[in-house]
Amino acid sequence: MVLLLIVSVIWALSFGLTAQVSGLGAPFVTAARTVLAALVFLPFLHVKDLPLERALMFAGIGALQFGLMYLLYIASFRWLRSSEVALFTIFTPLFVTLISDLLERRMSWMFLASASLAVLGTGICVWSGLGRAGIFRGFLLMQGANLCFALGQILYRRLAPATGKRDRDLMGLLYLGASVVAVAMAAPSIQWDKVLGMSLHQLAVLIYLGVVASGLGFFLFNAGARRTDIGTLAIFNNMKIPLAILASSLVFREAVDWSRLAVGGTIIGCALGLNGMAGARS
């Protein structure tokens, strides 16, 4: 759980930084982040004795969990405001719990209840009201992104232990798969005038986002996914959102509705408590 908490803090601080490079174009930023993450972990890649079929499977997991997820996530901005995108990410815990239960052919009602509480708490933190027409298409794209991220976590959690490899041995494969998807998506739409004209500050932020937020962040998140129960994993998929709101106020000096943050955070805390009770009984 400590690994997941560390990643939640890293990602919470990254929301404000991402806005500082958004002018470079979302496809380029996504491709740059995944390629940088791949470059960091390729030196640690150790796939000796790993069958080609299994290696391709992990590259496919990365393409799904990181590459395709980003593609759908970015596409949703055509129909959604950023606050609505944040709101629609809150269903990821439910996908994590339900996918795990489907693969295990069982239903963990306590874990499902704790994930639902996490969704409710996060929704209270970020809810901004939905009154526009044409929002349904964006909602579906975001649920596709949530599904890709959740399915990638579960598949990695199930398949990685059987290889006998450490997380750092495998992550290069995941980032390679993600990079192929991201670069293919970005290539036709890169705005080279903006990219070549980026400031040193933007370059530094982009390197941080690729190496730390994407590279180290996804690595620690998947490593944590192997070491915790499904309920805790589901809840921590949303932990970054209230932490990001807190960071927006304390670090980036943005206005925050403290009452909603307190109520939502308390409900997420209750979800963790309920999940602990479920784990103790299992």
**Predicted confidence band at 224 (pLDDT cuts at 50, 70, 90)?**
confident
Residue 217: both structure tokens together: 């962040």
Higher-pLDDT residue of 207, 241: 207
**Predicted confidence band at 282 (pLDDT cuts at 50, 70, 90)?**
very low
- Average pLDDT score over the chain: 79
pTM of the predicted model as reported, rounded to 2 decimal places: 0.77
What would the DSSP string read from start to end of 54-96? HHHHHHHHHIIIIIIHHHHHHHGGGTS-HHHHHHHGGGHHHHH
Q: Which residues contact 171 (CB under 8 A, 6 or more apart)?
A: 41, 44, 218, 219, 222
Quote the pLDDT of residue 105. 73
Region of 280 please: left (phi>0), alpha (psi -120 to 50) or beta: alpha
Residue 172: both structure tokens together: 């290069």
Summarize the confidence of residues 178-183 as an average pLDDT.
92
Buried b (16+ CB within 10 A) or exposed e, 64-90: bbbbbbbbbbbbbbebbeeebbbbbbb
Summarize the confidence of residues 164-191 as an average pLDDT.
90
Cα torsion 267, 273, 279, 282: sign: negative
Per-residue pLDDT tens for 142-153? 889 989 999 999
- Pseudo-torsion of CA 109, 267, 255, 204, nearest 10°? -50
Summarize the confidence of residues 69-98 as an average pLDDT.
74
Per-residue pLDDT tens for 5-26? 888 778 777 766 777 887 787 7
The amino acid sitting at 180 is: V
User: CA-to-CA distance for 113 and 91, rounded, in angstroms?
Assistant: 13
Q: Do the Cβ atoms of 110 and 274 come closer than 8 Å?
A: yes
User: CA-to-CA distance for 33 and 63, rounded, in angstroms?
Assistant: 14
Residue 139: both structure tokens together: 């909602």
What would the DSSP string read from start to end of 141-175? HHHHHHHHHHHHHHHHHHHHHHHT--HHHHHHHHH
